Amino acid sequence: MKPDAAQIRVLGALLEKQRTTPDAYPLTLNGLRSACNQTTNRDPVVDYDEATIRHALEELGRRRWTRNVGGARAAKYRHMLVDALQITPAEQAVLSVLMLRGPQTPGELRQRTPRLHAFADAEELEATVDRLVERRLVVRLERQPGQKEGRVQQIMGGDEPAGEVGTAGGQLAVAEAVRPDDESDARIAKLERDVADLRSELAALRDELGA
């Protein structure tokens, strides 16, 4: 089962804040709720309560896509997509914008990614999108009448592409295009390392409490 809209919003907010406000990252629950419910740079604007954010984090944690890393006064949360999906900073920037703002044209992505990643030129951004398409994390939508560019949409969540999906050979049926790539093999391969990390964090916490 794919992540729902709340889980995608949480992931997008974590991806964004890691790049834009590194001093405040990882995020507390309150900080993450505020990031999800921003009224700027978000489409749609939402008003998730604490229970919704907690549930999203629990489900994402089961996927090994987020982690509670603790904190001196409050729990803090970080995403694990860099390890789980092996995404680059450039791919992280594109995914973040698509998760938080919905389908975008390449031109809109160029305008909205500089604070997350400085693409050298349009060609670099297009190459990044192509890599994400190959991994079935995003799809390119056919250009609609009156539009200069087709849009790009993330398909990590449950929403179906908002239009026909474009391919080099023509149009591809939506049902075929959205087959999930759950990266289960990659997550399993990292499970032992994640457990070791958690044990190290627990040992450090015990040492701190003992001190």
Q: Are residues 82 and 1 in the same domain?
A: yes
Q: Are residues 80 and 116 in the same domain?
A: no
Q: Within a domain: residue 13?
A: yes
Q: Within a domain: residue 190?
A: no
Count helices and strands in the chain by DSSP H and E runs: 9, 7
Decide if pLDDT at 92 tops 80. Answer: yes
Percent of the chain predicted with pLDDT > 90: 68
Decide if pLDDT at 200 tops 60. Answer: no
The whole-number pLDDT of residue 191 equals 61
pLDDT band per the 50, 70, 90 thresholds, residue 144 = confident
The whole-number pLDDT of residue 182 equals 47
Q: Within a domain: residue 194?
A: no
Residues 174 and 161 sit within 8 Å (Cβ to Cβ): yes
The whole-number pLDDT of residue 178 equals 39
Decide if pLDDT at 108 tops 80. Answer: yes
Which CATH number do you get for residue 121?
A: 1.10.10.10
Residues 97 and 112 sit within 8 Å (Cβ to Cβ): yes
Rounded to whole angstroms, how far apart are CA atoms 97 and 1?
23
Q: Are residues 130 and 100 in the same domain?
A: yes
Q: Are residues 62 and 16 in the same domain?
A: yes
Name which residue leads in pLDDT, 21 or 208: 21
The number of domains in the chain is 2
Nearest-10 Cα torsion for 181, 175, 151, 124: 30
| pLDDT tens digits along 150-199 | 999 999 975 556 555 654 333 333 333 434 444 455 555 556 556 655 66
Residue 37 belongs to domain spanning = 1-86
Decide if pLDDT at 37 tops 70. Answer: yes
The whole-number pLDDT of residue 146 equals 82
Rounded to whole angstroms, how far apart are CA atoms 149 and 133?
17
The whole-number pLDDT of residue 1 equals 80
Query: How many other CB atoms are found less than 10 A from the CB of residue 95?
Result: 25
Q: Are residues 157 and 96 in the same domain?
A: yes
